[in-house]
Structure 1
Amino acid sequence: MTDATPKTPKTPKKKAETVKPDADDGIHPLARPFLWLDSKWARRAPFWIFLTAALGLLAWEFFHPRHAYSKWEEIFGFYEIEGFFGFCLAVLAGWPLRKLLWRSEDYYDREGSDD
């Protein structure tokens, strides 16, 4: 038996259309080219880049002869350790600096002089 209904040709499926944001979505037009920075891979990339660079420099230190000026520089990985603790110090110094430099939210809105 044959089917009496004519077959329709198959049409290719359309790709999912991207939704374009409205002009009133609260995003500044000059910020739109940088929205990719909020993606998951863009937030994780700096960690992997710096980790790879640190391990590469540590490996380079193993093969490259050093000319140390002090006894501390003779320790394997001294520059990496020094850089890590220097970075930690810079980050942790932000806490007391914030308490020292902090101003109330209405600091610039207050009337009168603060002398």
Structure 2
Amino acid sequence: MSDSTKPPHLSDHGEHALPDDSQTSPVAKVLFGWTSKPWTGRVLFILLGVVSLGLVLVEPLLEVMAGEGHHFRHTYFNIDGITAFHAWWGFGAFALVVLAGWPLGRLMRRDEDYYKDEAEPAGEEPHE
């Protein structure tokens, strides 16, 4: 792609242009139109944080309501009975997988000119 051309989904300033919705059905606009709004990502992130925090705060209440000698969850080890243990365990596992991806990506990445054939210019096929 040359410098003078730009991808069709970007505006002149490099921002995402709104898609042409002339072919979109009215039902699809009602059901999924909110996904193209600029506030969608921020609202979903805040909503996920509020729900997660709420679940962590409700956990000790459930333990108290279970009564003496009873537990609302069945633990196998002492550590998994800690409040919000599963939230921290999930976050740690996610972070480990993401961080392990960086060295793995470097290990498996090929050079940019891996497929470049010095005998023929790029983008041209040989004619027989």
Q: TM-score, normalised by structure 2?
A: 0.52
1:82 is aligned, of 74, 81, 89, to 89
Quick check: which has more Rg, 1 or 2?
A: 1
- The corresponding residue for 2:9 is 27
How far residue 55 of structure 1 moved from its aligned partner, in angstroms, is: 0.8
Matches within 5 A, 1:17-96: 26-27=8-9, 32=19, 40-64=38-62, 65-96=72-103
Give ranges in structure 2 of 5+ residues lacking alignment.
1-5, 11-17, 22-31, 63-71, 120-128
Displacement of 1:40 in angstroms is: 4.1
CA distance in 1, matches of 2:7, 2:114: 31
Task: Structure 1: state its 5+ residue gaps.
Answer: 1-23
Q: Of the candidates 105, 114, 118, which is equivalent to residue 107 of structure 1?
A: 114
Give the letter for the 2:42 counterpart.
Answer: R
Deviations 1:8-65 (A, max 9, x none): xxxxxxxxxxxxxxxx98229xx8269x767542232342132122112212322332
More deviation in 95-104 or 58-67?
Answer: 58-67
Give the CA RMSD over aligned residues. Answer: 3.4
Inter-partner Cα distance in structure 1 for 2:112 and 2:102: 18
Give aligned pairs, total.
87
CA distance in 1, matches of 2:116, 2:54: 51
